[in-house]
Amino acid sequence: MPPAKKRPRAYDPVKTRAAVLAQFGEVRRAVPGLTPEQLALPTGLGDWTVRDLVAHIGMALTAVSRLLGEPEPARQDARPTDWPAAIAADAPAIAGTAHRLAGDHPDLDAYLADAERRFTAGVDTHPGTRLLPTGAGALPLADYVVTRTVELVVHTDDLNAAVPGLDIPCDRQALAAATRLLADTLAAKAPGGSTEVRIPPYAVVQCVEGPRHTRGTPPNVIETDPLTWVRLATGRLTWADAVAGAKVSASGGRADLEKLLPLLA
């Protein structure tokens, strides 16, 4: 008899909203201190400069108010775990918008403040069940806000990597939500019970087809820390480099995620 399907993970919308605003606040506090030379630095994201990247971080919040302005879909037809794969298809349009916004908003602090104001107004005015027409399909507002934690954690890390000496912290709740969503996405992409992926202290998922363990230590175990997992899942770090650098421990013949990563490019 096949195992019962696992219920989708539930997220507390109040905590998620607070996590998004906390992580966005960390970025906002850092941006006014960036010099024109630092804003002109390249990033690891194609031809994006740091200024483009900051503009894109604002888009993580303005996307919510933009989608709330669209007609509401008739029914939900997507889950949060569908979002990482869908975002790759939107990459060219996203890059173009980031470049335009960076040029249109010389005062980045004011731009980010407006993005935060619009986001807060949107989530405070609409119920979490309100459906949004996202690139992944129709998602409830509360679920879409969870995807914002991934955007913010990933791009905060990108900012830190691009600007020497910059050390913007990751909010604990934002990192937790991002870690869990990406772990659940892996489990949805490669369903099964032969491999256990541990990302303490935030997530444990089972995935990959094969013999399913029922008790004791599973035969295939992968373990890593949350930020390394986010980097792996989003293509900032390769599986081979993570294993070689002892950022990941993997034991068992099926403890290899190289062909399954990244989840979000």
Q: What is the structure's pLDDT at 89?
A: 73
| Residue for token pair 């990941």 | 248
Within a domain: 261: no
Same domain? For 109 and 220 the reply is: no
Residue in this structure with the two tokens 């991934």, named with its chain if needed = 150
* Model confidence at 60: pLDDT above 90: yes
Same domain membership, residue 68 and residue 143: yes
Domain limits for position 214: 190-251
Of 16-20, 46-50, 83-87, 215-219, the one with minimum mean pLDDT is 215-219
Per-residue pLDDT band for 220 (boundaries 50, 70, 90) equals: very high
pTM of the predicted structure, to 2 decimals: 0.94
> Is 37 in the same domain as 125?
yes
The CA distance from 139 to 68, in Å, is 11
Q: Which residues, at least 6 apart from 56, have a Cβ–Cβ distance to it below 8 Å?
A: 48, 94, 97, 98, 101, 155
Q: For 128, what's the count of Cα atoms within 13 Å in the CB-facing half-sphere? A: 12
Q: Which residue has the higher pLDDT, 46 or 142?
A: 142
Instruction: State pLDDT tens for residues 221-256.
Output: 999 999 999 999 999 999 999 999 999 999 999 899
Task: Kindly report the CATH number assigned to the domain that includes residue 111.
Answer: 1.20.120.450
Mean pLDDT of all residues belonging to the chain: 93
For residue range 124-166, list pLDDT tens digits in order.
999 999 999 999 999 999 999 999 999 999 999 999 999 999 9
Tell me: the pLDDT tens digits for 182-194? Answer: 999 999 999 998 9
* pLDDT of 90 over the 90 cut: no
